[in-house]
Amino acid sequence: MISIDRRIIFLLIALATSLPLLHPFGLPIKVSPEVRAVYEYIENLPEGSVFFLSLDFDPSSKPELEPQAMALLRHAFRKNLRVIGMTHWLTGTGLADDIFSKVAKEMAKESGKDYVFLGWSPGTGSLVISMGQDLYKAFPSDHSKKPIEGMPVLAGVRNLRDVTYLISLAAGNPGIEMWYVFGKDKYRFEMAGGSTGVMAPGLYPFLRSGQINGLIGGLQGAAEYETLIGQKGTAVAGMDAQSADHFVIIALVLLCNLFYFVLRGEKGRPGFNA
């Protein structure tokens, strides 16, 4: 049993993922203080504040980070914040553009007036410094090649010092740490982070030291944010599948340890021949 055919494990995971998606059991979502901190900060921003959302991920992290991005954008648009978007991940540009267009259409927001999606530009850290010095030199035009100078959404915005709140949703580097080191530390805006589930534990030191004021971790974090804004989406729907998957993995780990100890006990017995 200890060397069980891994296809059985794959089958268990497939069932644990698909069955709750077909028949959700909809358990309540608890909200953590780190996600609530992000929500409350945005909730308390005055109308017209500049909110910068950096979607630093590519399609491989779409299931976890797209719901975070959509929930944050819905919240920001509902609060009538001026939203600036970009990505540091070249392969994520199309996805980020799609997220912005989709939510903007849903919330009846207009590109150039209510939000601007700057797209991608090379440089990562040096790009952040460049934006911190002069946003218009770093990005002369937005993703659809329209010049950004004179756009109503950017009225009074010269550089990153004019940003009120920045959130980087990251699947790795460049992402939250890079934004902190090259951006917040020098240009003094408040920031938070959102990340995949596997990355989140590594970001807690930044949270505890106040370098970021909130953290949205993985699908669970996205589900918490969806709960807070009262608009349940794919994250809440996916949490039942994630619950079942976690329990299958826990059961497998416990089972494997049980067999391991039984086998070790038998090996210790006199006359045992392995």
Partner 1 sequence: MIVLKRQLPLAITFIMGVTFALQYYIPHPVSEEAITHLSKWMQIISGFALALGLASLFQVHAVKIKRQVAGWGYSVILYVAMLVTITVGLFWGQGQTKVDGAQTAFGWIYDYTMVPLQATMFSILAFFIASAAYRAFRARSREAAVLLVAAVIVMMGRVPLGQFLVPWSWDVAQWLLNVINSAVRRAILIGVSMGIVALSVKIILGYERSYLGGGKDQ
Nearer to partner 1, 39 or 51 (CB): 39
The distance of closest approach from Cβ of residue 183 to partner 1 in the complex, given in angstroms and rounded to an integer, is: 12
The distance of closest approach from Cβ of residue 47 to partner 1 in the complex, given in angstroms and rounded to an integer, is: 27
The distance of closest approach from Cβ of residue 45 to partner 1 in the complex, given in angstroms and rounded to an integer, is: 26
Nearer to partner 1, 30 or 267 (CB): 30
Q: How many CB atoms lie within 10 A of CB 189?
A: 18
Nearer to partner 1, 80 or 121 (CB): 121
List phi, psi (to 5°) of 58.
-125, 180
Nearer to partner 1, 17 or 80 (CB): 17
The distance of closest approach from Cβ of residue 34 to partner 1 in the complex, given in angstroms and rounded to an integer, is: 9
> How far apart, in whole angstroms, are the C-alpha atoms of residue 69 and residue 64?
9
The distance of closest approach from Cβ of residue 79 to partner 1 in the complex, given in angstroms and rounded to an integer, is: 25
List phi, psi (to 5°) of 212.
-125, 145
Nearer to partner 1, 78 or 105 (CB): 105
Nearer to partner 1, 51 or 179 (CB): 179
The distance of closest approach from Cβ of residue 46 to partner 1 in the complex, given in angstroms and rounded to an integer, is: 28
